[in-house]
Amino acid sequence: MLDFEKEKLLRELRRRKPKRVLVQLAEGIKKHAPEISGWIEPLGIEVIFSGETCWGACSIAVQEAEALNCDLIIHFGHAEFISSKFPILYIEVKDLLDLKPILKKSLKELNKFKTIGLSFSIQHRHDLKNIVSFYRKNGKKVILSKKVGNVAYEGHIVGCQYGGLKAIQEDVEAFLIIGNQFHSMGASLALEKPVVLVDVYNDNVRSMRGLREKILKQRAISIEKLREAENVAIIVEIKPGQKFGSPKFLLQKLKEAGKNAIVITMSEMTPDKVMNFYNIDAFIELACPRIALDDFYKYEKPILTFRESLVALGIKSWEETLKTGFV
Ligand code: SF4
């Protein structure tokens, strides 16, 4: 049920006339590589697929493309997140699911709220008019989250940017996220008002309140462990859009707090790589902040976001972080 915007793809390729392209596919759509190759190669263009993980448009593979002498990156499955001098064609990919049944189902969960803040993951942008009109016909006032930070459109949500939702928080009674748990869980941690997920992939509608409380407990545990840690590592990644906090600043603050602190670079953080640094007691990762939040159970050692490390170091309070969010 996915629309890979083939016409746009071919139109852009005929216009730009690249000789060799590097194709990045978001996780979950990599299986479509042979099909996509079959569209591009007949134009006389050489196609190379990146096998590296691609969780967001923060992962644009400029280094790979340059090393392979490609003259264009085609990035499928995300909207533009950061600007780049390297030419990139974004194909957002539309999900053609019929949302009407699940929108109807959501009315029960929303019955206490008249004004709702709405955000959607990029695959549902093409359905926005229908979504908004559905809720308006059912007596709701809908306000789209603002285009703040690296999101591409009003209403668009990504896992590490919630400024656009915070900007409308005073004007709404609750937030409604059309998409999946990843975005709505992040939203529930960043916002004080209730967050309801319309989980289009699991066909259910649910409040994020319970999960929020559980994650907050995990975050408090990780912060406490960093306070107690003797050896600490700051992890930086080399992905262009994953720079959340200054390693230099943090290194200095950790040392001032009496900790042995080092900086480690990784192309992508994984439990295997982290495990090799077995004498490190806690890690602060300045790459995708969602690794710390979502992969709590995958790592034996505590992994913290930049903002959480400021709480452990006494630079910010827990209460402030509840307001600003953890990512
Ligand atoms: S940094 Fe993480 S949350 Fe943000 S866009 Fe990249 S993968 Fe998504």
Q: Is 54 in the pocket of ligand 1 (CB under 6 A)?
A: no
Residue linked to tokens 């009003």: 154
What's the pLDDT band for 47 if we cut at 50, 70, 90? very high
pLDDT tens column, 51-71:
999 999 999 999 999 999 999
Q: Is 288 in the pocket of ligand 1 (CB under 6 A)?
A: yes
* This prediction's pTM: 0.93
Query: What per-residue confidence (pLDDT) applies to 312?
Result: 98
What's the pLDDT band for 238 if we cut at 50, 70, 90? confident
Query: What per-residue confidence (pLDDT) applies to 203?
Result: 94
107 CA distance to ligand 1 middle (Å): 30
What's the pLDDT band for 231 if we cut at 50, 70, 90? very high
pLDDT tops 90 at residue 100: yes
Cβ distance 326 to 293 under 8 Å? yes
Residue nearest to atom 1 of ligand 1 (CA): 288
Domain 2-93 - what CATH class? alpha beta
Q: Please state the atom number of ligand 1 nearest to the C-alpha of residue 58.
A: 6
CA 112/CA 206 separation, integer angstroms: 14
Residue nearest to atom 8 of ligand 1 (CA): 56
Given 3.40.50.880, 3.40.50.11850, 3.90.180.10, 3.40.630.30, which CATH number is that of 100-207? 3.40.50.11850
pLDDT tops 90 at residue 224: yes
Of 162, 202, 168, which is closest to residue 185 (Cα–Cα)?
162
| Number of other CB atoms surrounding residue 170 within 10 Å | 7
pLDDT tens column, 278-326:
999 999 999 999 999 999 999 999 999 999 999 999 999 999 999 888 8
Q: Is 58 in the pocket of ligand 1 (CB under 6 A)?
A: yes
Q: Is 159 in the pocket of ligand 1 (CB under 6 A)?
A: yes
Give CATH 3.40.50.11840 domain extents, the chain.
2-93
